[in-house]
A and B are shown apart, each in its own frame.
Chain A
């Protein structure tokens, strides 16, 4: 499917999504946290889109907002889409898990939790993956400070 056709189709499911292709080689969708799970399960289950391959999950700190970027590909249609979700709540950022849609999200969401402190509702095993349980703070956030281990130029 072309990006335009994808946009029209997905827009017919959930009207309030924001689409953009600016500054990216893929079609980007911004979704509100409460609509994330619905959109994601439709992207996977709909036969016209069938995004069955979640190949990259990136935690993001935009400075003010925290969020997650999902890169999806369809192994039947070979089209790619990017879904972004963000929140301004830095104290307790929470999104719904997509690990019940794609099994790979289990580990990837744990990585995002480990480094960004973003929690995922209904995740089967949300605990630190790389760092120790007693580690304080979330290192990949932009406001993280570690005076001993970080070399600042």
Chain B
């Protein structure tokens, strides 16, 4: 009976369906307009701007100290690294050498931020594809990092710990001990993550061969971070354009060549191990010294153009400043990793099913304020 219907010349038409802006799997206000034939996706068109705040325009009227605070609100899961990006750009423009202590602390907190971000991603990605338990495991471990941040930076999410010239205040006396406790704790937890989710048969079937991205396409679409590295494209900014204390540590860049959702997933798990190793190499060697160097109350950048790349938890964040020599930037552009990574969603989702789109999107790890800025 059924085969007769399938073989008959019944007319089928494309139809449109809205995914978002209030869909739980988009993790923010992203609207995707899907063109669908049956359950097969023919086109994914992102509609952006639901939380666009025009941070770039606001930067044009703000001082350089104020701009740092706006960057927290882009990719809020990499807030410390975003802050660092602006501070590094300003410091390089002023040719300001910050103390070694600052570099070490920046890198340690940056890597803690990366782990916290990946923990949250791991939790919600499991939830997206139907494994509810992961959410609680991920948040449990992230909570420990947030407590460390709260004690040292005074905030748990939008830390604002970096200022041009160094850090806002010195680290808390408990910082080193608590970070070491966390590293010891988390080393026993990643194998637990693998046990719970990575080896799960249902999970593997949902991820393997889904959302395949080739290396050539990854480069052409401007992909970066774990998304690009899952396709075998070596692009870690920490390796190629090292900053802060990253030149004092050795770590491996996680690379896989499959290019599917499972590869992107495994890259992030691997990155958590690498971040732990970076923290371990630095935490006992934080040099004594000042936590900042004095800058003018009003910072004026010399005339010219300045660019700085950093590796956030999502990929390559670029800060481009065009200065005319005044106390505000003439133009400031954020090259956000999420924006470029989103642009390849249509490419990897076409031909798959809606359920596969959720899996692919989860492994792109999009943060919408980072895309909308």
Contact = CB atoms under 8 A, between A and B. Distances in A.
Interface residues of B, number: 38
A24 B305 CA distance: 5
Main secondary structure of the interface of B (DSSP, over half): mixed
A3 B234 CA distance: 23
B49 A131 contact: yes
B222 A54 contact: yes
Interface in A31-72: 52-56, 58, 60-61, 69, 71
Interface in B46-70: 48-49, 52, 54, 56-57, 61
A13 interface: no
B318 A75 contact: no
B316 A55 contact: yes
B43 to A, nearest CB: 11
A56 B343 contact: no
Given A139-B54, A153-B61, A55 B320 contact: no
Interface stretch (B72-80, B106-114, B157-165, B213-221): B213-221
Contacts of B49: 129-132
B307 A75 contact: no
A58 B320 contact: yes
A24 B48 CA distance: 32
Contacts of B331: 58, 60-61
A110 to B, nearest CB: 9
A140 interface: yes
Contacts of B222: 53-55, 102-104, 108
Best-buried of B302, B335, B347 by chain A (most CB within 10 Å)? B335
6 pairs of A and B residues whose beta carbons are closest in the complex: A23-B304, A104-B222, A130-B49, A107-B343, A56-B335, A58-B333
Interface of A: 22-26, 28, 52-56, 58, 60-61, 69, 71, 75, 78, 82, 102-104, 106-108, 111, 129-132, 139-140, 151-153
